[in-house]
């Protein structure tokens, strides 16, 4: 008999990315297996920084234990601050915490300054996590990288349940054409600028397709023109599902080198399309699947190093194809059956 399950989602209005697709995929997988599922999503705002605490409080005050007099059997929160909600059968599947209070505070992508208010917000976030996370019956994560952060900063152990990419078995390979594909939201932390700078110093005149939109788009277009690579770069914007599958199927390689990524669907999408991935040695969860010379190439996050990796694959498409095929085989068993088995095993 199926359970009544609520998934706790955190939604920035008008923004859709990997986290949103992952919540929808989790909901659909649970429904397919006979459960009654509802996504509970609250808007989230992190600026000015004090808003973080106010939005966290909203989750703490939320009652997700019952609806219309009937109990909700299981609550699955996915990221901060959704896991602050109380439930006697809370099983957390963590996408990521509020990273600005943890690892990003030590990086070039730092958003909280050293002002008294920002320091207060960081202390509050860490205190809330220390209180709420242990309330979970079990804690799982989407990647070993997320588990490592959780252990490092909070002393909390967890297990990793890798989710499959959204389009399941529809990824395929039709060719290895001489262009590199970049997919994802155009945010600074995704480092598409590093790809443009690498193209400018690469030796082969490689073409590039950038699929995605975001706040960095205007700056990236201007940078491509400044570097003299604008004629080789297509900013495709938001692409349809069919176009995305086609781009993955045709490209010679995929560039995906964000800073310390949690997981990254792009990695799995590329490998399931039998394409090698060029990434960086500080790209976090991507490195759980991309091994240098085996399933892709790992470079230092410098234009010259990334350019050398792009040139190597452009000059040896057969070698790239072998890497992509090896990667496809290695991620073939990542499935929703495994995820749900893990999530539901500790639910009462």
181 and 311, same domain (yes or no): yes
Establish if 83 belongs to a structural domain: yes
Establish if 206 belongs to a structural domain: yes
42 and 121, same domain (yes or no): yes
Establish if 81 belongs to a structural domain: yes
Work out the average pLDDT over 306-323: 98
Hey, which of 14-28, 75-89, 334-348 has the most confident mean pLDDT?
75-89
Average pLDDT over the chain reads 96
CATH of the domain at 85: 3.40.50
25 and 96, same domain (yes or no): yes
Res. 1: pLDDT tops 80? no
**pLDDT-derived band at 16, boundaries 50, 70, 90:** confident
Domain that holds residue 298: 168-330
Select from 142, 161, 180 the last residue of a domain: 161
172 and 124, same domain (yes or no): no
The pLDDT score that the predictor gives to residue 346 is: 82
264 and 298, same domain (yes or no): yes
pLDDT digits (tens, 9 = 90+) for 100-153: 999 999 999 999 988 999 999 999 999 999 999 999 999 999 999 999 999 999
174 and 312, same domain (yes or no): yes
pLDDT digits (tens, 9 = 90+) for 57-95: 999 999 999 999 999 999 999 999 999 999 999 999 999
Q: How many domains does the chain have?
A: 2
pLDDT digits (tens, 9 = 90+) for 229-279: 999 999 999 999 999 999 999 999 999 999 999 999 999 999 999 999 999
Establish if 143 belongs to a structural domain: yes
| Three-state DSSP string of the chain | CCCEEEEEEEECCCCCCHHHHHHHHHHHHHHHCCCEEEEEEEECCCCCCHHHHHHHHHHHHCECCEECCEECCEEEECECCHHHCECCCEEEEECECCHHHCHHHHCCCCCCCCCHHHHHHHHHHHHHHHHHHHHCCEEEECCHHHHHHHHHHHCCCCEECCCCCCCHHHCCCCCCEEEEEEECCCCHHHCHHHHHHHHHHCCCCCEEEEECCCCCHHHHHHHHHHHCCHHHEEEEECCCHHHHHHHHHHEEEEECCCCCECCCHHHHHHHHCCCCEEEECCCEHHHHCCCECCCEEEECCCHHHHHHHHHHHHHCHHHHHHHHHHHHHHCCCCCHHHHHHHHHHCCC
């Amino acid at each position: 008999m199926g359970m009544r399950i609520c998934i706790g989602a955190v939604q920035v209005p008008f923004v859709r990315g990997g986290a949103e697709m992952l919540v929808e995929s989790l909901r659909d997988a649970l429904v397919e297996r006979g459960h009654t599922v509802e996504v509970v999503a609250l808007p989230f705002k992190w600026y000015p920084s004090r808003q973080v605490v106010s939005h966290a409080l909203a989750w703490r005050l939320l009652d997700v234990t019952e609806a219309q007099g009937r109990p909700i059997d299981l609550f699955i929160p996915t990221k901060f601050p959704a896991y602050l909600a109380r439930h006697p059968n809370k099983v957390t599947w963590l996408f990521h915490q509020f990273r600005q209070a943890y690892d990003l505070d030590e990086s070039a992508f730092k958003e909280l300054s050293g002002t008294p208010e920002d320091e207060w917000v960081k202390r509050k976030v860490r205190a809330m996590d220390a209180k709420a996370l242990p309330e979970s019956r079990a804690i799982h994560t989407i990647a070993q990288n997320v588990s490592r952060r959780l252990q490092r900063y909070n002393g909390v152990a967890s297990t990793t349940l890798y989710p499959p990419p959204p389009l399941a078995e529809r990824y395929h390979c039709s060719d290895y054409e001489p262009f590199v594909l970049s997919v994802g939201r155009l945010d600074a932390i995704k480092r598409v600028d590093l790809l443009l700078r690498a193209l400018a110093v690469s030796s082969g005149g490689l073409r590039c397709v950038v699929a995605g939109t975001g706040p960095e788009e205007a700056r990236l277009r201007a940078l491509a023109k400044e570097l003299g690579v604008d004629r080789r770069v297509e900013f495709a914007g938001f692409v349809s599902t069919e176009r995305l599958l086609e781009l993955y199927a045709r490209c010679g390689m995929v560039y995906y080198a964000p800073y310390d990524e949690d997981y990254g669907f792009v990695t799995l999408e590329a490998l399931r399309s039998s394409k090698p991935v060029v990434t960086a040695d500080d790209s976090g969860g991507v490195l759980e699947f991309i091994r240098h010379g085996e399933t892709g190439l790992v470079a230092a996050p410098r234009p010259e190093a990334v350019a050398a990796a792009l040139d190597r694959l452009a000059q040896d498409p057969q070698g790239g194809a072998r890497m992509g095929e090896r990667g496809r085989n290695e991620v073939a068993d990542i499935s929703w059956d495994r995820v749900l088995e893990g999530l539901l095993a500790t639910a009462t």
